[in-house]
Amino acid sequence: MSTEPSTALAELQDRCNAALVGLLGHGNSEFAAEAGPHLVRLFEASAYALTRGGKRVRPLLVYAAAAAVRPASLDAGEHDPAGIDYVACAAEMVHAYSLVHDDLPAMDDDDLRRGQPTTHKAFDEATAILVGDGLQARALELLTDAPELSAETRLELVRSLAAAAGLRGMVGGQAIDIGAVDQSIDSNHLETMHALKTGALIRSSVAMGALAAGASDEQQGALDDFADAIGLAFQVCDDILDATSDSETLGKRAGADQALHKPTYVSTLGLEVARDKAEGLLAEALAALESFGDSAALLREIADFIVHRQR
């Protein structure tokens, strides 16, 4: 059982962090400097939201899924970011954008994120909205620019990420979440909400890593099953941590779900059932990886970390 990322995962987090700084900055900082102080500030706010803190779970899934399909996929990229780094960063940019908007007063109205003031608190609301918009667009741009990948693969990557982020994915899930305040919903409805608001981007991260590595339909199918289980487990654990941990450990406000009257796995099924659910989903996720052997070692480590993390 692993409450912290393994050394191999920590190395990939570092790799992603370096690539994020480079790929956000790439030409943008010079452009902002020329365009004047308002754009410089927007650029600073984007870097604030993207590069400070965060577990990098989605990029880790991109890397690990690619390695499961073709272990050599992670070989390049020691100096310039490789194609797989572009894909990993695109997933993190969409995620970071979603957090900035999730924290806005009109959504969850949170002051603390990744151990620091939320972007709208450190800057202002209009800037936070624009940061989210800009990060989402930059993510798609990265996929179209990803080196080493064919035009067809890039198109499939854009389709996967755009669909996961959109109305039938994350944004749709956020709408259900906001609409569910003060409602008691049944476990099927809860599962749909979780699968969309958090599961869709996790599924896409795994699928994009596999696509970039040239996965067969059979491999992609097994990885989808893995991602469905671990994506749901991720949000079940987020709900458990919200109810059981403290703000300092989490780096975000604990107890927010109860304060905002949100239905969660914990409020709907109780803490023990929620914990059993997370362990059951972990077992399901690991079972889906059976055909991969050792090449799926990183995916197994991430799955374990997702369910046993402390923050």
- Looking at the Cβ atoms of 54 and 263, the one nearer to ligand IPE is 54
Cα 82 from Cα 148, distance rounded (Å): 8
Cα 49 from Cα 236, distance rounded (Å): 24
Among 114, 154, 275, 277, binds ligand IPE (CB under 6 A): 114
Give the DSSP per-residue string, 126-190. Answer: HHHHHHHHHHHHHHHHHHHH-TTS-HHHHHHHHHHHHHHHSTTTHHHHHHHHHHTTT----HHHH
- Going 162 to 164 to 167 to 172, the CA torsion angle's sign is negative
Binding mask 143-182 for ligand IPE (x = CB under 6 A): ---------------------------x---x--------
Cα 226 from Cα 229, distance rounded (Å): 5
> What does 300 interact with, of Mg ion, ligand IPE, none (CB < 5 to 8 A by kind)?
none
Among 41, 52, 55, 70, binds ligand IPE (CB under 6 A): 55
Among 85, 92, 238, 301, binds Mg ion (CB under 5 A): 238
- Looking at the Cβ atoms of 45 and 99, the one nearer to Mg ion is 99
> What does 252 interact with, of ligand IPE, Mg ion, none (CB < 5 to 8 A by kind)?
ligand IPE
Helix, strand or coil, per DSSP, at residue 116? strand
Size of the site for ligand IPE (CB under 6 A): 17
- Going 234 to 243 to 120 to 249, the CA torsion angle's sign is negative
> What does 277 interact with, of Mg ion, ligand IPE, none (CB < 5 to 8 A by kind)?
none
Cα 69 from Cα 226, distance rounded (Å): 13
With binding defined as CB under 5 A, does residue 102 bind Mg ion?
yes
With binding defined as CB under 5 A, does residue 236 bind Mg ion?
no
Q: Which residues bind ligand IPE (CB under 6 A)?
A: 54-55, 57, 95, 98-99, 102, 108, 114, 170, 174, 197-198, 235, 238, 242, 252
